[in-house]
Amino acid sequence: MIKAFFKTVFYKPLYNGLIFLIDILPGIDLGVAIILFTILVRLILFPLSRQSVKTQLKMRQIEPLIAASKEKHKNSRDEQARDMLRIYKENDLHPLSGVLLMLIQLPILISLYVVFSGSGLPTVHPELLYSFVKMPENISVIFLGFIDLLKPNFIFAVLAAVTQFLQIRFSMPPPAAKKENATFQEDLARSMNFQMRYFMPILIFIFALRFSAALSLYWIVSNLFTIAQELYLRGKFKSQPK
């Protein structure tokens, strides 16, 4: 039942969107279609991403207040928790909103992964197409005339890892300096920040070497879009009165 729901609500619409784009733009190869398709999907998700970035920026703004609260109530976890809730409320901040938004986007990202890695392109499955989506006569899988998107590509794997590193660097605050009397939570947060910043790009590189270049291209374009979006929203929110 879950599989059928996932296929109907997420996979089929995205699959049909990609095939529809290839059909209405004759002459473009799969790589160009993936670039355009990724940008369209990210534009649709922009309202969700906007709220997530706004929450992250607000969290950074109140970091001094949070640090002062922890120091003031370091001997009482209950008092510290109540004061943290007060700070969040006064700043109209919902710290879990970023997590919820990420969970909302997760099925979409998984569907895109399935579309690019397991759709069987250039073969089109007519049983998956909606009645208004025509089957393209021919799908070129050679990007820019020489890159086979159905095979892994080392350069694309490197670009996927580099753009992932830059995207994390822009979106995550720098790791806090190591303290001698740091709490377990502080050490855990610092460790998670380090792993996301450096281990995640390495993991993306390894995966990109195993899967098709089409998936790597999607990841590269998505990361670049996220970086541009982050810079735009940062400038917009910082220009607003605090």
User: What residue type is assigned to position 151 of the chain?
Assistant: K
Judge whether residue 37 has pLDDT over 90: no
- What pLDDT was estimated at residue 231? 83
Higher-pLDDT residue of 39, 121: 39
**pLDDT for the residue 99:** 64
The domain segmentation of the chain, as residue ranges, is 2-238
Residue-wise pLDDT for 8-26, tens only, equals 888 888 888 888 888 888 7
Most confident stretch, 100-109, 156-165, 166-175, 177-186: 156-165
Instruction: Name the pLDDT band for 87 (thresholds 50, 70, 90).
Output: confident
pLDDT confidence band for 224 (50 / 70 / 90)? very high
Residues whose CB is less than 8 angstroms from the CB of residue 229 and which lie 6 or more positions away in sequence, other chains included: 42, 46, 49, 53
Average pLDDT, the chain: 77
The pTM of this model reads 0.75
% the chain with pLDDT above 90: 7
pLDDT of 157: 93
User: For residues 71 and 53, what is the distance between their CA atoms, to the nearest angstrom?
Assistant: 27
Instruction: Check residue 221 and give its pLDDT.
Output: 92
